[in-house]
Amino acid sequence: MGALDKKSEQAYLWMRAYIDENKFANNSKLPSENVISHRLAVSRETVRTALARLAEEGLIRKVKGSGTYINKDVALTKELGGNSGTIKVGLVLQGQDTDANSTLIEGIRGVFLADQVDLRIFLTDNKFANERRCLQTVVHQDFQGFIVDGVKASLMNPNLDCYKQIYQKKIPVIFYNNYYKELNYPRVTVNDKQCADRLLGLLIKAGHRHIAGIFIYDNYQSIEKFQGMAAALKRHGVEFQDDYIKWCVSNEAHDDRFARSIEKFLKGIPRCSAIVCCNYMIYRLVRYVLHKQGKKIPEDYSVVCFDYSGGNWEEEGVTCSVHQGYQIGQQVAERLLKMIERKDCKGQDYSCIMPPKIYVGSSIGQMSKKQQ
């Protein structure tokens, strides 16, 4: 089989990570093609292409009338094989935004040479139980380092003891995006408060005063975006309005059914002229709701978006902060390698706060004084 296209590669990586995480579990059955297709927002043909690659590698087997199963003998052999001199690194992903994950992995692999670093990918699906199962498995597998995107990082995490166990084994860990404040690990993040100030500044400059925001309360990165929005409104002398803020949990942001809740929210704030979306997934839902209502951007609503990870922001024309997945991947990989080389598993010397990358599109309309 030749090289996979980008979407098939994303599906393949997701399933490889699923296999890595579940090869020790009692249940070795893969989700159905329909479930994977819906989960990753790709066609069934794309899923079949990825499955064909896995079958070619011997990692899965199909049982007629039953489904597709992990070939545990092959999966475990692949785990035990490889060059003894290779550095083994675990990448723990939330796995909910496939576009963001894809560019992040490309950035990491741009630093990690394939013959020097064995990169293993694990998915938590942003669930504490999955994170715990993953950490309890990998802590005994001779990993030299971990790159982690935290699970529901604004909430109290029940798995901090697992990270402390990794720390006691002197294994370096670096976080990106979502991190746990209770742990003294280095992290690579984007300055979301600065980003909020710039995006809100563009809306306010265009005359908008009734600005709605949709944020995720169990995501620490989203909390910082909200704080940045509130600070920007205050700095520009615009009244903060509680009714103009919509909160949701992480799983809702990835569920099309949340669109109905957004629609009801917007109907309850008729003076709203602008919407701030905390990420690309929320933006897609907002765009869908506005289209369904016959509303246009920017004629009826101005819209801005944090962390646009779709890759087509110029074509879309949305004013946004562009998700810097590739650059974040490079930064975490370079810093983790230094930690491994220096046998340094503590300290904030390896942390990095990246400036936001702002794209000014055509999604902000100018308000007249009468409209204000």
pLDDT digits (tens, 9 = 90+) for 99-148: 777 888 889 989 998 778 888 888 888 889 888 988 887 888 889 999 99
Segments of the chain assigned to CATH 3.40.50.2300: 192-323
Q: What is the pTM of this model?
A: 0.80
Instruction: Report the pLDDT value the prediction gives residue 129, as an integer from 0 to 100.
Output: 87
Tell me the pLDDT band of 76, cut-offs 50, 70 and 90: low
pLDDT in tens, 253-301: 777 789 999 999 999 999 999 999 999 999 999 999 999 999 999 999 9
DSSP 296-356: -TTTT-EEEEEEE-SS-HHHHT-EEEEP-HHHHHHHHHHHHHHHHHHT----STT-EEEPP
Nearest to 109 by CA among 54, 147, 58, 138: 147
| Antiparallel, parallel or unpaired: β 60-63 and 67-70 | antiparallel
pLDDT at 141 (0 to 100): 83
Q: 365: which strand partners? A: none
Q: Can you spell out the DSSP letters for 285-298? A: HHHHHHHHTT--TT
Q: Which residue(s) pair with 315 in the sheet? A: none
pLDDT at position 194? 95
- From the list 23, 24, 112, 101, the residue with the least C-alpha distance to 323 is 101
Structure confidence by residue, pLDDT tens digits, 174-188: 999 888 888 889 999
- Phi first, then psi: give them for residue 212, nearest 5 degrees: -90, 155
- Classify 150 as helix, strand or coil: coil
DSSP per position, 12-39: HHHHHHHHHHHTTSS--BPPPHHHHHHH
Domain at 192-323: CATH code: 3.40.50.2300
pLDDT score, position 83: 47
Are 87 and 118 in contact by the 8 Å Cβ rule? The answer is yes
Start and end residues for every CATH 1.10.10.10 domain found in the chain: 1-80
User: Which of left, alpha, beta for 369 (phi over 0: left; psi -120 to 50: alpha)?
Assistant: alpha
| pLDDT (mean) for 68-84 | 63
Give the pLDDT band of residue 224 (cuts 50, 70, 90): very high
Give the pLDDT band of residue 81 (cuts 50, 70, 90).
very low
> What is the chain's length?
372
The strand pair at 302-308 and 274-277 is best described as parallel
DSSP 153-182: TTSPPTTHHHHHHHHHTT--EEEESS--TT
Average pLDDT, the chain: 87
Minimal CA–CA distance to 176: which of 249, 110, 103? 103
- CATH 1.10.10.10 correct for 1-80: yes
pLDDT recorded at residue 176: 93
- For residue 288 the two structure tokens come to 């869908």
98 has pLDDT over 80 = no
Asked if pLDDT for residue 63 goes beyond 70, the answer is: yes
